[in-house]
Chains A and B, each alone.
Chain A
């Protein structure tokens, strides 16, 4: 575990999709209790884990996340009774799909963190951040975003220069 203030070569970008009732409150508790956890995590608050569409996870990776955390209420504690039960099934399936297309599942973490579990929040976030830090940046989606289908590709400026020299 890293100690606060340590300098690192790589600071991973972690996106956390959390439910407002449990995990968000848990993260809040960690803050008000002055617990330290990596500042790499960016929280996005949702009413319920049931509202978190798998597409959000995909989008996060596409837009540059190195790791994604999805966290909500413990089973049985859902504010909407069963939202997290539905989410649990959906994510069980989605992670299998991501794995099959070649995403390393070590970059994706699911957790239950209640409003009273500030300590668990710190633990989950720290562990994911350090794990992703060791893995390095998530390049797959970033590289893909820069790729063009061959027909739309332009000559690089260097190649352009080479042409000009040939014609001279």
Chain B
């Protein structure tokens, strides 16, 4: 599946949820089914700055594709990072860097999260893109 297709899938999951509590439930459930991060990466080194909750993201580069792992100490942030991992994982650095993450706006996440959570989510996206950028530069050097 392309990044766009994955985004469409998430949008369709949220589409029929009118009540924001139901949307939150969906986010929480996303976090619950997320395998999380390998405990060895649950360290300050992989902690994302700018989140009120603690969020760890680790990425590795295999056969030209970036694979992310993410986890949070809170369930809502955990659900958000799970969705970002789901959408962005398994793609080339170029795909990740070129993609517009429109599902965030489309499901109304940005406007319905508190400003601190919304900023935290942007910090997650930024960090995940940084990984892609780093792998891309590394590939160029190789």
A and B interact: no
